[in-house]
Amino acid sequence: MSVTKSDGSPQGAVALKLDLVPPPESAKKPENTDSSFLDGSPSESPGLEKTKGITGFQALVHLVKGNMGTGILGLPLAVKNAGILVGPLSLLAMGVIACHCMHILVRCAQRFCHRLNKPFMDYGHTVMHGLEASPSAWLRTHAHWGRRIVSFFLIVTQLGFCCVYIVFLADNLKQVVEAVNSTTHNCHSNETVTLTPTMDSRLYMLAFLPVLVLLVFIRNLRILTTFSMLANISMLVSLVIITQYIVQGIPDPSRLPLGASWKTYPLFFGTAIFSFESIGVVLPLENKMKDARRFPAILYLGMSIVTSLYIGIGALGYLRFGDDIKASITLNLPNCWLYQSVKLLYIVGILCTYALQFYVPAEIIIPLAISQVSPRWALLLDLSIRLAMVCLTCVLAILIPRLDLVLALVGSVSSSALALIIPPLLEITTYYSEGMNPLTIAKDALISLLGFVGFVVGTYQALEELLEPGPSRPFSNSTICIQ
């Protein structure tokens, strides 16, 4: 069984499909729930259908689609935090490293599939078997913790995505409502638009809560797939409209700094790695291909396309809006009906995506809880846990309403571990006993060290800014729009 999700995210929309069994069945076998969902991407991953095999082109489409979500909308602000030259170069380097780590994970999984005669190996079990192959007796004894750690980071990442979505929904709906009285059909006006103040964005978050609860109560993935298609379409249309707008009227780039302050660079790192986090999708894709030998080439081509798109949107967005760039580029769009519709389309897409992203942590946590009670209480416990988890994400979003800092925090905490820290260490534990080139060991150690530094510094910087008092730290949902 494998689950994958696609974020036409912010990291496009997420398509999440279960290959073998419906959710209720998974509750009967709690011992398998860890591994069943670890192959889904903690970022936003593409949906895979149960077929006899997918072509290389189909795998490429899934891989690219799995990286497109809400994260891409925050990249212009991320580039501002790094500088107009340092930002794109860092995105390029991060894309190369992320792609290399994905390739490492695929190689290690293939190694254990051949060794253990298994047709497929997910992320969690690959880490567990990697620790079992380690020369360290202590790591071999505690190998099962590798799978549990991956589960933990998956849960943190997915619930973090859900928090980001709630903040995004509130920010954009608030701006649409405030601008509705002055919205025009003229998208080329240079007037300053005065928005009509409405209720606090946190009340908008609470307003979305009943809808989100109803969505997560849908436990049938086939029904959720319909929402996924709607999300994909709405996000694709939105991104096309956003791109055609930001390429118009770009001012002189010489006014922008080549490199920003080192104090803001950790925020860039967190947002960027949040966007690149799709390492979980590579194993399901590789397993589904008719000719898996072509997958490395597909992986490198797909990640090249993704990295180019990220650099393009991030750099062009910052060039277009400069220091006025907001946490989501949708908040910078003009006050005319065409671009207000973009926000509404993205709201629909993210709303549909929430339930799909929520499915992964729910299917890790709920079956374990249900296994502890009698069958007659199973449904009530299932729905109660879903309700509690949705309320938790809403409360966290209310407590941390700055979209840019939520992106950076989630990316620094869990995406760093899953995308940069674990894969290089996995390669060392897998191949060390067979003899490894010292340069390979040094390379893996350096990547993990960089990921760990980003994890610590990025988390510290995001928390520091979130906790810093005073009016100098406005909410990201301040909706002042200048046309």
Fold classified for 3-464: Amino acid/polyamine transporter I (1.20.1740)
Residue 353 contacts residue 7 (beta carbons within 8 Å): yes
Residue 70 contacts residue 275 (beta carbons within 8 Å): no
| Helix axes of 295-321 and 86-116: crossing angle, nearest 10 degrees | 160
Please report the pLDDT score of residue 237 as a whole number: 85
Residues 454, 157, 371, 32, Cα dihedral to 10°: -80
Please report the pLDDT score of residue 135 as a whole number: 85
Please report the pLDDT score of residue 481 as a whole number: 36
Encode the chain (483 residues) as per-residue pLDDT tens digits.
Answer: 444 444 444 444 333 333 333 444 434 443 333 333 333 333 333 344 444 577 788 778 767 766 776 778 889 989 998 999 999 999 999 999 999 999 999 999 888 988 888 887 878 889 999 999 888 889 889 999 998 998 888 888 888 888 888 988 888 888 888 777 665 556 655 444 555 666 778 888 999 999 999 988 887 766 766 776 777 788 788 888 888 888 887 887 888 888 888 888 888 888 888 787 667 667 777 877 787 788 888 899 989 988 998 999 899 999 988 888 888 888 788 877 788 888 888 888 888 778 777 877 887 888 888 988 888 888 899 999 999 999 999 998 888 767 667 777 777 877 788 888 999 999 999 998 888 889 999 999 999 998 898 888 888 877 887 777 544 444 444 333 333
Please report the pLDDT score of residue 444 as a whole number: 94
Q: Tell me, what amino acid is at 12? A: G
Residue 314 contacts residue 88 (beta carbons within 8 Å): yes
Please report the pLDDT score of residue 8 as a whole number: 41
Residue 371 contacts residue 135 (beta carbons within 8 Å): no
